[in-house]
Chain A
């Protein structure tokens, strides 16, 4: 019986709505530009081992080759003769990987915390609110920096530090959404049909909070990329792999004469973060119920 109740609306109402959503997204210029740029960066990350086989940290040519001079090394080389384009391709892997892992961690923590606090209320809610307030007070970047500095940088610790410091705002967002639904007819109907708390949380409440979560996820990935590159710029990157932030930091020493070594990887960061922000803007505009004309 309860199966029937939840299946019926899903097949009849959700499907056309979802199609409309995609159409609207494709018509949003911000989402289109952002999505295309993001796909480009993603393609760079995925194709890096084939387009540029070999370690991007190896010396492949003479140092300080200017961009556009040598056809074999389109963007030139840095002070150690490392190919910049190869570094940017491989750096995309690192940045996206850390950003995705840390965002997944933040999503798990933020969603479970927010749903539990919003659903059960009372002491759990009060505790979560205190914890998130605390996290919003201490400077997240300094906190992440302290964690990575103390436990040594690696892909996992960096992702962990970023994830741990970025979940609280999501938890608050989810909690607010859950509170809107907590006493709705839908949830009460499920409860009356004898659904367990877990089932109500996972099947009724969570799916209905996904749209605002989706928007903030794209912003969280963008912030994670900025944080990761900032840490790497300060020398707190994984020492065994290239990272855009690390490339910018390394080029700093020769910035007076060979500024392109610093400039080019920075542009890669800007493009990626811009793409994610545009996608987030586009999604927010499309999913905003006030805008459904």
Chain B
């Protein structure tokens, strides 16, 4: 690596960190003022339904959160806490919010990873098939399916999959992440989790699969018309090599871009899917927080999922440079 590109890379890192900081600050502002929009003051919101709160306890809470101080001082304290990684305390769970989120995050990442892998692999395969058979029966069937899945709400498709595969066929578990009473360890445990993962990952992935199928089909048809593909065919490259090395590699670029844009929507989808399948991740936690009116936790989840979006986007940028060497990390 030359000195110039090293400098460029470190500048890029600084830019990324600045972006991360900006988003965290933005969400913090939103969270802070959203909490004050809730009926009653934050102490009531935070403690109100945590049980019987005595007036003394409320007063102590107000003091602890600095609610008896001017708004700007409150906001400053909130930011100071945030800078120390302190997202507040969930009275419902009797645990710091940050710790709760850290416990649930891996399950969500597993679900998202499996869904994205499924959506990208099957979506590009179906897109390629449809593009090569454009106008024929296979294309019509695939395009219709894609159109249908693109219009189907996640939560409903999840419930329908449960009806078919869990209730009628009894092939897969209805929900949860593992069979608690079985107490599996090692490989048996992994297999158990994988069995529980199939339906949620399918549910979350089908919508994005539909998006990628449509996208890959459209770009494949466009890329195949280009000169470098004709050259590759003319020089006698085998059809499969033309497909993988020339056409698909270029058709995947828009897919990766789209994936980066959609990370935040995938997290939103995970909330719904986790609710349907009782998957013990961030989304399920958000749903519980919603029901228990544990707004501090809910807003902490909003903050952390935004950070996840940024981190995944860094990863996507990196993949992009692997796929297209003309693009450098900036």
Contacts and interface: CB of A to CB of B under 8 A. Distances in A.
Contacts of A277: 147, 150-151
Interface in B138-159: 147-148, 150-156, 159
A141 B269 contact: yes
Interface in A134-185: 134, 136-143, 145-147, 149-152
A143 B302 contact: yes
Interface in A181-232: 222, 226, 229-230
Interface string B73-98: 00000000000000000000000000
Contacts of A47: none
A157 B155 CA distance: 22
A260 B267 CA distance: 29
Given A137-B310, A139-B264, A146-B299, A230 B34 contact: no
Contacts, number: 129
B235 to A, nearest CB: 30
Interface stretch (A8-16, A49-57, A79-87, A268-276): A268-276
Contacts of A259: 163, 167
B272 interface: yes
Contact of A274 (B147, B293, B306): B147
A139 B268 contact: yes
Nearest to A277: B151
A255 B302 contact: no
B264 A226 contact: no
A123 to B, nearest CB: 16
A145 B301 CA distance: 12
Nearest to A30: B147
A145 B328 CA distance: 37
A134 B37 contact: no
A273 B151 contact: yes
B305 interface: yes
Contacts of B22: 130, 134
B177 interface: no
Interface string A257-293: 0010011001001100110011000000000000000
A161 B150 CA distance: 23
B267 A262 contact: no
Contact of B38 (A142, A145, A150, A236): A150
Chain A CB within 10 Å — which of B156, B264, B306 has the most? B156
A24 interface: no
Contact of B37 (A151, A234, A236, A262): A151
A266 B161 CA distance: 13
A248 B268 contact: no
A255 B23 contact: no
Contact of B39 (A143, A152, A255): A152
Contact of B264 (A130, A136, A266, A278): A136
Contacts of B306: 137-139
A252 B287 CA distance: 16
Given A139-B302, A141-B269, A236-B290, A274 B159 contact: no
Nearest to A144: B268
A139 B265 contact: yes
Given A138-B264, A236-B290, A274-B151, A256 B167 contact: yes
A141 B35 contact: no
Indicate the size class of the contact surface on chain B.
35 or more
A233 B155 contact: yes
A270 B151 contact: yes
Helix, strand, loop or mixed for chain A's interface? helix
Nearest to A281: B147
A76 interface: no
Interface string B279-310: 00000001100110101001101100110011
B26 interface: yes
B27 to A, nearest CB: 6
Contact of B295 (A150, A252, A270): A150
Interface string B2-30: 00000000000000000000110011001
A278 B306 CA distance: 32
B193 to A, nearest CB: 24
Contacts of A130: 22
Contacts of B148: 270, 274
B155 A142 contact: no
Contacts of A134: 22-23, 26
A235 interface: yes
B220 interface: no
A138 B309 contact: yes
Contacts of A235: 290-291
Contact of A234 (B163, B290, B309): B290
Given A152-B39, A233-B272, A235-B291, A142 B159 contact: no
Contacts of A263: 160, 163
A230 B274 CA distance: 13
Interface of A: 130, 134, 136-143, 145-147, 149-152, 222, 226, 229-230, 233-236, 245, 248-249, 252, 255-256, 259, 262-263, 266, 269-270, 273-274, 277-278
Given A137-B310, A262-B156, 13 more contacts: A138-B27, A138-B302, A139-B309, A143-B30, A146-B302, A150-B37, A234-B275, A235-B290, A248-B156, A256-B167, A266-B156, A273-B151, A274-B151
18 contacts: A137-B313, A138-B264, A138-B305, A141-B265, A141-B272, A146-B295, A147-B34, A150-B37, A230-B272, A234-B287, A236-B290, A248-B159, A255-B159, A262-B163, A266-B152, A266-B153, A273-B152, A274-B148
In order of increasing CB-CB distance, the 10 nearest A-B pairs are: A141-B268, A266-B156, A274-B151, A273-B151, A138-B306, A139-B268, A139-B267, A139-B264, A150-B38, A259-B163
